[in-house]
Structure 1
Amino acid sequence: MQLGRVIGIAVATRKDEKLVGSKLLITQPISPEGEFMGAPLITVDTVGAGVGEQVIYVTGSVAARAIPQDHAPVDAAIVGIIDSIQCQVRKE
């Protein structure tokens, strides 16, 4: 699982039939401190997340299992909305 922030919405009027009804969100990976890391990706929302929220997302084969449709072409899925993060960052 990875941390991210929803930074936008992707609208696709034509998509695989197994994705019809799914909300597609643009998610930016973040560090535990909330700093942007890497490139944004399109994620399928499974929990009702919105723009600006910090989320937990999964990628790869696990993401396809996060949605109810069997064999859906999903590579990244939001599986949780973060209420708060507490961590101790190690200084090197």
Structure 2
Amino acid sequence: MIICKVVGNVWATRKKDELSGEKLMVVQRLDIEEKGSDEVFVAVDCVGAGIGEQVLVTTGSSARMALRNHEAPVDASIVAIIDEVQAQV
């Protein structure tokens, strides 16, 4: 799983039927010090996240499982809104 920050959203009037009704968000990967990286990608929002929130993103086949639709063309899903991160580095 990846810690990210929601930086925007994607509006798509035409998309695969499996994505109908799903909210697409633009997320930026964060490092442990909450600094943004150059990696920005789109993830399906499963939890109702908003712009500016830190979220937990899962990728690959786990992203489809989060949607409960194994046929959806999804590579990344937001599965949690982060309240706090504690780490010793």
Which structure features the higher share of strand residues?
Answer: 2
> Is 2:18 aligned against 1:18?
yes
Unmatched tracts of structure 1, length 5 or more: none
State the Cα deviation string for residues 30-76 of structure 1 (Å, max 9, x = none). Answer: 01211112320000000000000000001111111110334111000
**Structure with bigger gyration radius:** 1
Match for residue 41 of structure 1? 41
CA distance in 1, matches of 2:61, 2:38: 21
Match for residue 32 of structure 2? 32
Q: Offset at 1:13?
A: 0.5
Give the partner amino acid of 2:79.
V
CA distance in 2, matches of 1:70, 1:62: 9
Percent identity of the aligned residues? 46
Give runs of ≥4 in structure 1 deviating > 3 Å.
none
TM-score, normalised on structure 2?
Answer: 0.95
Give the partner amino acid of 2:32.
P
**Matches for 1:12-91 after TM superposition, within 5 Å:** 12-89=12-89
Unmatched tracts of structure 2, length 5 or more: none
Q: Kindly report the root-mean-square deviation, in angstroms, between the aligned alpha carbons of the 2 structures.
A: 0.9
TM-score, normalised on structure 1?
Answer: 0.92
